[in-house]
Structure 1
Amino acid sequence: MHFKKLINIVILFFLIFCCEEKYNEIEPEAIIPKPSEQISKSGEFILKDFYAVSAENDLDNASIYLMNQIDGLIDIKLNPKHKSKIEFIENLNLKEEEYYLDVSKKGISIQARDSRGAFYAVQSLFQLFPKNAGENNEIIIPFVNIKDSPQFSYRGMHLDVGRHMYSVDFIKKYIDAIAMLKMNTFHWHLTEDQGWRIEIKKYPKLQEVAAYRDETLVGHYSDQPHQFDGKRYGGHYTQEEIKDIVAYAQNRFVTIIPEIEMPGHSQAAIAAYPELGCTGEQVEVATKWGVFEDIYCTKDETFNFLEDVLDEVLELFPSKYIHIGGDEAPKTRWKTCKDCQKRIKDEGLKDEHELQNYFITRMEKYLNSKGRQIIGWDEILEGGLAPNATVMSWRGTSGAVEAAKSGHNVVMTPTSHCYFDYYQSDNEDEPLAIGGFLPLEKVYGFNPIPEELTKEDAKFVLGAQGNIWTEYMPTEEQVEYMAFPRMLAMSEVLWSKPENKNYKNFVSRLENFHKRLDALDINYANHLYEIEGNMLSEDGKAFYDLITLTEGKTIRYTLDGSAPNVSSKIYKSRIPIVESTIIKAAVFNSDKQLGKNFTQNINFHKAVGAKIYINKQPHIAYSGSGSEGLINGIRGSDSRYGDKEWLGFWGEDIEIKIDFKKPIKINSIKTRFYNGNGQWIYSPKEVNFEFTLEEGTKVSDKRKLQSKDKLLIKLDYDFITPEDLNVKVKSFTLKIPNYGKIPEGKQGAGNKAWTFIDEIIVN
């Protein structure tokens, strides 16, 4: 029989259960992430004064954590003899991280296999506390019974401190948020082209040179010409600070995985030690964003440097995994470097891609010799995958599928659902972001298991994480704004069972959770009271639908371009659209407007209501409103290529045919293409037209497109016919060749380019 050592904790509380009615504004079924099983009961447990707590074996860590938190809410008086109690019971029949939580008139009972499970029970318990916890020196907790366990073992959040750096206090606050949401991994991106953030004692120039850039890009990377602020920027975390942060995370059962980028994203290190590069020439710490050609050379001196660096990193971070990056490493320097070409020849390698595999594999062997494993972005698949590597799949899901089918572990981080540096709202007043569009609902709908995987292959998917790249996040408040509430949605994706997930229910719980974020002084984006609009087509007629997910609210709208108010028409059913219209709407609660104004301009052009066919399906992550979304009268965002009006195709030539009910006269065709090269998106070089006229004649034409450095590339095509001829068009087809492979020196070099197309306007 297993011997259970009972630990009595004397510096703890006395619990009194009180039978009279007490007001508690917390809803017991408002926990995020949603538990596996939860039964709410009538009644409340009132926590006050002081009492004794029992904790078996290792569970005392969770009990002490709970008591430390409560200690700041109510006063302490010792009374260890009281019958009501909080108990932490070891239950070896439970799985790792699984827990039972029971709140009844007897007290609070937590069962878990280990301290991690008990810690997550405590996090659920905290969410049962009312926002006025501690008022009148008491905490009112509703009766509840919860049985809970996670869906995935890896539940992570990432933070890039290379582009912008944040205080130690903020890093700890970020870790607290991770722990609160039952996530267990903090991926700390510590080195970049724009700054090296970790102290390495053997190489002091990493702190003196690599940690600072002379100035920083102002505005968006796509803005031309580039402007800079002229201010020196930088800093680093000392080893003592890192040790403190690691210990802080361990106390909250959060593992920190450090990322030391190699062979690319290393210009800052090369600026400090030019001999690490292929040319040996002095370079600067990067002052703008993007991908740079100066990467680590493959000579022995580089590997000696990286092994020395990793030796110090391993002393600071006890994590099983060390992230070595591996992404976006242009091979330009390697192709002309005598050392790299000699390495290719000596090792019998085929090309520079296999040289990258050699680089990664060599570093993996070194880390394996130290008892650690590597994890890297999916580019580490190029040229063959290192034997024991875990792949972090960000360029869609294909890398994950390839790795899992080869028996390698995978962590899912696709840009389409996990990049929290993307815009999260259609509002034009959102803070500057890198681009893209990732609303809360899309995060919540993420399934980390790619559908191409069999049940056996799916076992290699460890979980997923939300990524926060900080090019456009100079402040801690902005990091929080971009992280929350999308981090909450990701926590439920990773913890809660799929059958328990419901977005409308999540929104209801999130509305309540905002109070908790307010109390924790966490800045968050509140888009709950925004309106979603959809253009609908039925029997050739167009309608517009307005939706808000929050319960008990009213939508009021106007059609004349004026701002809605308490006297505006209440939305009850879809709005018929028969002409170009400006719809404005807002969510109201009684006589108060809650959210920002929603505005939709509808251009009722000649293709609205026509039939549209596309020879290829848009990518599942960027399918917008489907093919009909290209002729629904609504243009996509000027800055958010991932919204529901843009359609995205990866590396494919596409043909779009628009067929009219009856032949019509055409004067012009307009559309536009997104050209965000930093996100691998390139406008096509030309567009070909084929018209089928009323009598069956076919007419062809083409237009060249000049992309230059513009973010949006317009196509304005005039269909010119003699004025004395009544030429009508029955249908037309746009043939759009993909740009091709991304050029060397650009982000995503060598990969297929994306094509993103907006509304096709026919006049």
Structure 2
Amino acid sequence: MKKGLLTLSMALGITLFAGCNSQKATKDDLSIIPLPVEMTAGTGEFKLNGDTKILTSSDNEEVLGVAGYLSELLSPATGFAFTTELATEAAKNTIFLKLNPEISGETGAYHLTVSDDQVIIEAPESIGLFYGVQSLRQLLPAEIESSTVQNGISWNVPAAEIKDEPQFQYRGLHLDVGRHFFPVSFIKKYIDLLAMHKMNKFHWHLTEDQGWRLEIKKYPKLQEIASQREGTLIGHGGETPFEYDNKPYGGYYTQEEAREVVAYAAERFITVIPEIEMPGHATAALAAYPELGCTGGPYEVIKRWGVFPDIYCAGEEKTFEFLENVLLEVMDIFPSEYIHIGGDEAPKDRWEECPKCQARIRREGLKNEHELQSYFITRMEKFLNKHGRQIIGWDEILEGGLAPGATVMSWRGEAGGIEAAKMGHDVIMTPNSHLYLDYYQTDPENEPLGIGGYLPLEKVYSYHPVPEALTDEEAKHILGAQGNLWTEYVKTADHVEYMVYPRAVALSEVVWTPKEQRDYSNFLSRLEKHYKRLDILDVNYFYEVPKPSSNTAKAGFLESTQIALSTPLKNTEIRYTLDGSEPTAESALYTKPVTVDKTGVLKAITVKTSTGEISKTLEIPVTKVAYTAPIENITPGENGLTYSYYEGFFRTVKQMEEQQPENTGIVTSKWIPEVVNSASFGFTFSGLLPVEKNGLYHFHLSSDDGSKMYLNEQEFIDNDGLHSNQTVIEPAALKKGLYKVKIYFTEGGGGYNLNLKRQSPDGSVKELTPADFFTEK
């Protein structure tokens, strides 16, 4: 027994059994993602050849489907024809798929045994056999993924015994096709990758303000009008003035195509969950059928991104007739138990002014527009329940009272999920902090344009779907977790893959493998091998760029500075330049921290030493800064900041100052005081920042949505525009004294966050609150 394998055993629950000779599997031979619950490496190997057969213990349709899938998986690369036969037991040179009711565990549990003579996959249900096939697939050389015959490869499977089952029954991935449309061929590839990683839910986001993507035969204008927009925003949605490309954009899936996708996913034991948004994100539908809106229109399919005021009219009976008819056709296409009805980001402006909605509120005895939304969702839930279906909604459906049997998808952090679980409702965790795959994976300067935010691979892997705030009984309501990809800024299939992979690979292990067995370093080792599999499958995944030692997108210095770089990936090296040129595999090799003594930019890449492939470029602007003098002859007041509160929808922070504030005061603890009573709002904060000693400081301003910081009345940090949570860092050389500070913040709807950190000259980082400032007398 090798010491290295013993260490792996102790860390990850993988054990080894002794064989009759010295040929033992290594940890690299047993590289499977997601990591199995229990894995025992043995002696010897099973060799696939032209005489290998697939045996099944049953001739039921699902088992034969798994056998056919396995044959189609193995044949192209090996060139072997794998016949399938019915059998009661395994035989030499066979792969035996055996239904065994004595195998215990959660749905999807399986046992996989590989010996010199045979491979046996056992499970109580065919879904477990399918997952056993996925593990067998990853034990084979990566070349098994090729679509053409690979000569010279030994198709050997290392001897092993695996006992495995999922930790969560909901293991999902989402794709928004409303903002940008993707063909059926790509949707199938997306599903294939889910299957390889033992994921079982595909959340298909089919309707949006910017496009309706599903054919509804009763309402043909949804295809003719709602699926098409006259152009698309150029640049970021938080930047004004808006510019458009004026190129017609559209597309939709016919019902026949949607059924094809559903059947394709079902063969891979994946449930397709359709989402039909209501009552908000409905402008495209209103453009086709304006009588369903509160104002009657006219409406147009939206060309830019954001949250828009025109939603379905809750006072109009035609609205419910329309949605019920739509859902009847949706249910006929999608057999999923769950239908996702959205429920998020539905401004109440139109309802507040609509006589029919106000009449509905009075007639139903409701208190306000939030309870009207609860009425809306509950009514649709009852309709779906009558047809044997259940609803899922985003966590906004909690507002005004939760529909009785609703399952909540918690996206604005975990708070909504915790609240729902404590109420006894099932929950799917998909917090934007850990599972929003449209967030940047590295410095935005080095990435394609995105919505904002920062979500590295390690943070995805660190997530655990069960919050500590829940009791054991409440935790039973956490069904699992899901990664979400919104496509405002993701226009192509290649870009989808770039944003999703490898973060979805990390998520697959989060929802399958027991928390105590997960280890990020070991995951990275297995991921390195897995990349070759993804390469052969032509997946355009993100490859880690070098990381600076301090997580900063910008460095400042007084005389000089040193920048340390690292990469978590093995079998790689870092190459860099300082002259502004793009680094290559022949650029300077990084061996120690790089000294920089003039303004410029450090560019660095990760290089695979085995293939020479390179990552995207890390760029760190480095700026020589001069001291900013403190304000003289100024008297500080009490601890805190003065604030002005503005209500309204502001695309930029400066827009709020065009109107009078709703409220003013002093805030002394948390940033956002208890005066907010609107989904969209803004604040300004003003005061004095004390600096205790001379030196170079770095300020980190994070916000969801936009923010700006002024220092001594000069713009200092620009984090403006409507975006998800993102951080901007700027250096400042400050002397001891007091500095005037003004911070702007705006929220366009949904969850909000404002945070300011200060990194001192000694490298320590402090999170600043209003208590760290003084008001000005």
Q: TM-score over 0.5 for the alignment?
A: yes
Counterpart of 2:705 in structure 1 is: 680
CA distance in 1 between partners of 2:455 and 2:490 (Å) = 16
Structure 2 counterpart of 1:45, which letter?
F
User: Deviation digits for residues 272-294 of structure 1, max 9, x if unmatched?
Assistant: 11110001122111111111111
- Structure-1 residue corresponding to 2:161: 145
- 2:68 counterpart (64, 70, 83): 64
Deviation at 1:78, TM superposition (A): 6.6
Taking structure 1 as reference, are residues 477 and 702 closer, same or farther at Cα in structure 2, changes over 3 Å only?
closer
**Secondary structure in structure 1 of the residue aligned to 2:550:** strand
Partner of residue 514 from structure 2, selected from 492, 497, 503: 497
Instruction: Identify the match of residue 360 of structure 1 among 377, 393, 405.
Output: 377
Question: 1:257 aligns to what SS in structure 2?
Answer: strand
Task: Map 1:585-596 onto structure 2 (within 5 A).
Answer: 586-587=605-606, 594-595=614-615
Deviations 1:558-599 (A, max 9, x none): 789886986857535x67999989666555677968545544
2:681 equivalent in structure 1: none
Aligned to 2:194: 178
In structure 1, the partner of 2:591 is 571
CA distance in 1, matches of 2:488, 2:84: 54
Tell me, what secondary structure is at the counterpart of 1:428?
helix
Contact 1:654 1:735 in 2 (8 A): yes
In the alignment, structure 2 segments of 5+ residues that lack a partner are: 1-19, 553-559, 629-638, 641-669, 674-684, 762-777
Q: Please report how far the alpha carbon of residue 56 of structure 1 lies from its aligned counterpart in structure 2 after TM superposition.
A: 2.7
Structure 1 counterpart SS, 2:155: strand
Which of 208, 211, 226 in structure 2 is aligned with 1:195?
211
Task: Give the drift of 1:517.
Answer: 1.1
Q: Is the Cα–Cα contact under 8 Å of residues 413 and 431 in structure 2 kept in the other structure?
A: yes
Where 2:340 maps in the other structure, the secondary structure is strand
* 2:672 counterpart of 1:651: yes
Q: After superposing the two structures, state which structure 1 stretch, 173-182 or 553-562, moved more.
A: 553-562
Structure 1 contact 738–754 (Cα < 8 Å) conserved: no
Give the Å deviation of 1:503: 1.4
- Conservation of the 8 A alpha-carbon contact between 1:101 and 1:121: yes
CA contact (8 A) 2:671 2:754 kept: yes
The 2-side partners of 1:672 and 1:64 are apart by 55
Please identify, of 704-713 and 261-270, the stretch whose mean Cα deviation from structure 2 is larger.
704-713
Residues 700-753 of structure 1 show CA distances to partners (whole Å, capped at 9, x for unaligned) of: x9999999869899999999xxxxxxxx9656588777848x4xxx433xx6x4
| Distance (whole Å) between structure 1 residues aligned to residue 186 and residue 730 of structure 2 | 49
Secondary structure, aligned partner of 1:512: helix
How far residue 190 of structure 1 moved from its aligned partner, in angstroms, is 0.5
CA distance in 1 between partners of 2:52 and 2:698 (Å): 73
Distance 2:715 2:541 in 1: 45
Query: CA–CA distance in 2 between the matches of 1:78 and 1:323?
Result: 41
What secondary structure, in the 3-state scheme, does the structure 2 residue paired with 1:166 have?
coil
The offset of 1:109, in angstroms, is 0.3
* Matched residue type, 2:135: S
Which consecutive residues of structure 1, in runs of 5 or more, have no partner in the other structure? 1-18, 609-614, 617-648, 690-700, 720-727
Distance (whole Å) between structure 2 residues aligned to residue 271 and residue 121 of structure 1: 48
Q: Tell whether 2:31 aligns with 1:30.
A: yes
**1:349 CA displacement:** 0.6
Instruction: Give the deviation of 1:600 after TM superposition.
Output: 3.6
How far apart are residue 38 of structure 1 and its match? 1.5
Aligned counterparts, 1:714-753, within 5 A: 730=736, 732=738, 739=745, 742=747, 746-748=748-750, 753=752
**Displacement of 1:194 after TM fit?**
0.7
2:501 maps to which residue? 484
1:160/1:468 contact within 8 Å kept:
yes
Q: What residue is the counterpart of 1:332 in the other structure? A: 349
Q: For residue 86 of structure 1, what is the aligned residue in structure 2? A: 95
Q: How does 1:268-287 map onto structure 2 within 5 Å?
A: 268-287=284-303
Aligned with residue 126 of structure 1, among 127, 133, 137: 137
Contact 1:671-1:757 at 8 Å conserved across structures: yes
1:108-137 deviations in whole A, cap 9, x for unaligned?
Answer: 100111011110010111112213345348
Match among 306, 309, 334 for residue 323 of structure 2: 306
2:81 pairs with 1:76:
yes
Which of 507, 514, 536 aligns to 2:531? It is 514
152 and 606 in structure 1: CA distance in 2 versus 1, 3 angstrom threshold: farther
Measure how far apart 1:224 and its partner are.
2.4
Deviations 1:499-523 (A, max 9, x none): 2211122122112111111211221
Moved more, 492-501 or 402-411: 492-501
Aligned residue type for 1:213: R
Normalising by structure 2, we get a TM-score of 0.77
Q: Is the 8 A contact 1:444 1:493 kept in 2?
A: yes
Are residue 383 (structure 1) and residue 400 (structure 2) matched? yes
Q: Give how far 1:84 is off.
A: 2.5
Q: Are the counterparts in 2 of residues 683 and 755 from structure 1 also a CA contact under 8 Å?
A: no
Distance 1:217 1:292 in 2: 15
Which residue of the partner structure matches residue 550 of structure 1? 569
- Shift in alpha-carbon separation, 1:736–1:337, aligned structure 2, 3 A: same
In structure 2, how many angstroms separate the alpha carbons of the residues matched to 1:251 and 1:717? 55
User: For residues 4-15 of structure 1, what are the structure 2 equivalents within 5 Å?
Assistant: none
Change (3 A) 1:383 1:327: same
Structure 2 counterpart of 1:103, from 106, 114, 125: 114
TM-superposed CA distance for 1:60, in Å, is 3.4
Kindly tell me: are residues 144 and 303 of structure 1, through their superposed partners in 2, closer, same or farther at Cα, counting changes over 3 Å?
same
Aligned to 1:267: 283
Instruction: Describe the SS at the equivalent of 1:434.
Output: coil
Counterpart-to-counterpart distance in 1, 2:437 and 2:486: 8
| Partner SS for 1:48 | coil
The residue type paired with residue 482 of structure 1 is M
Cα distance per residue 1:469-526 (max 9 Å; x no partner) = 1111111111111111111011111111112211122122112111111211221111
Question: What is the rounded CA distance, in whole Å, between the counterparts of 2:720 and 2:587 in structure 1?
Answer: 49
Q: Match of 1:72, SS?
A: helix
Give the 3-state SS of the residue equivalent to 1:259 in structure 2: strand
Q: Is the 8 A contact 1:99 1:110 kept in 2?
A: yes
CA distance in 2 between partners of 1:441 and 1:505 (Å): 12
Q: Is contact 1:391-1:408 (8 Å) kept?
A: yes
What is the CA distance between 1:228 and its match in structure 2?
Answer: 0.9
The percent of aligned pairs where both chains have the same amino acid is: 47
SS in structure 2 at match of 1:314: helix
Alpha-carbon displacement from aligned partner over 1:236-280 (angstroms, at most 9, x marks no partner)? 111111111111111100001100000000001111111100011
SS in 1 for 2:142: coil
Instruction: Give the deviation of 1:757 after TM superposition.
Output: 3.9
Structure 2 residue 443 is matched with structure 1 residue 405: no
Offset at residue 156 of structure 1 (A): 0.2
User: What letter matches 1:660 in structure 2?
Assistant: E
